[in-house]
């Protein structure tokens, strides 16, 4: 029975060996919906990523909706916050930053990810501000989708990005 790439002993061993280092850093810039953040936190635990919240968030980090969406995995989440964008950049430099936006010209499939990259996502209603993101920025990426869809749910976008990051970096 084929268990897929993460079902193999080698893949499980690789995941266990990186358990103490974040595989990636996921940044949510001023998130607005606690349930999305909880779901993203659960996904981060699943792939060994660290979740960063750039304040202000529209909810408290002890919000019951946040914890409910993260289920009992929240206790295992590597979580940090930053008081603003400059604070985050200071904490994560010199790592590579990738900025996700539906307006980016490059797609996620054009990226070449490395371990501990920083994946940055904007708020649910307005995305990333222009002070952080420019459309032609070389590390700005979009997730391809049909023209009929304006955008994906934030938690879905983070999941797609994290699993593509993991696909490229697992075993490197």
Name the residue with tokens 């810039």: 29
Surface-to-core class of residue 168, CB atoms within 10 Å of its CB (0-12 exposed, 13-18 middle, 19+ buried): middle
What CA–CA distance (Å, rounded) separates 136 from 2?
Answer: 42
Give the C-alpha distances (Å, rounded to integers) separating 17 from 24, 36, 103, 114, 147: 14, 28, 37, 16, 41
Predicted local confidence at residue 69, as pLDDT? 61
What CA–CA distance (Å, rounded) separates 54 from 87?
Answer: 9
Give the C-alpha distances (Å, rounded to integers) separating 106 from 16, 96, 125, 144, 161: 32, 16, 22, 9, 14
Section 38-43 average pLDDT: 93
Interhelix angle 154-169/34-47, rounded to 10 degrees, is 10
Residue 18 annotated as binding site: no
Residue 143 annotated as binding site: yes
Residue 122 annotated as binding site: yes
Query: Are the CB atoms for 27 and 119 separated by under 8 Å?
Result: yes
The tens digit of pLDDT for each residue in 112-124 reads 999 999 999 999 9
Predicted local confidence at residue 60, as pLDDT? 78
Q: Which comes out higher in pLDDT, residue 16 or 102?
A: 102
Indicate the helix (H) or strand (E) that contains 98: strand 97-100
Section 94-112 average pLDDT: 95
Side-chain-side CA neighbours of 129 within 13 Å: the count stands at 7
Residue ranges of domains in the chain: 28-169
Model confidence band, residue 17 (pLDDT cutoffs 50, 70, 90): very low
126, 161, 167: which is closest to 141 by C-alpha?
161
Predicted local confidence at residue 137, as pLDDT? 87
Predicted local confidence at residue 5, as pLDDT? 43
The tens digit of pLDDT for each residue in 63-100 reads 677 666 656 788 899 999 999 999 999 999 999 999 99
Indicate the helix (H) or strand (E) that contains 46: helix 34-47
Query: Are the CB atoms for 50 and 22 separated by under 8 Å?
Result: yes
Q: Is the pLDDT of residue 152 over 70?
A: yes
Quick one: fold of 28-169? Alpha/beta knot (3.40.1280)
Least confident of 14-18, 29-33, 83-87: 14-18
């Amino acid at each position: 029975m084929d268990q897929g790439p993460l079902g193999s002993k080698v893949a499980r061993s690789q995941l266990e060996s990186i358990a103490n280092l974040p595989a990636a850093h996921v940044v949510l810039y001023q998130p607005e919906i606690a349930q999305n953040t909880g779901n993203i936190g659960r996904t981060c635990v699943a792939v060994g990523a660290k979740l960063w919240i750039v304040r202000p968030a529209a909810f408290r980090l002890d919000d019951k909706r946040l914890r409910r969406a993260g289920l009992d995995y929240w206790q295992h989440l590597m979580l940090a916050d930053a008081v603003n964008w400059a604070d985050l950049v200071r904490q994560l430099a010199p790592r590579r930053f990738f900025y996700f936006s539906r307006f980016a010209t490059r797609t996620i499939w054009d990226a070449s990810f490395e371990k501990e990259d920083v994946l940055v996502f904007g708020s649910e209603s307005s995305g990333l501000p222009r002070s952080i993101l420019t459309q032609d920025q070389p590390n700005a990426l979009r997730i391809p989708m049909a023209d009929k869809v304006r955008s994906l749910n934030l938690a879905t976008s983070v999941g797609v990005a994290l699993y593509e990051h993991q696909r490229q970096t697992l075993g490197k």
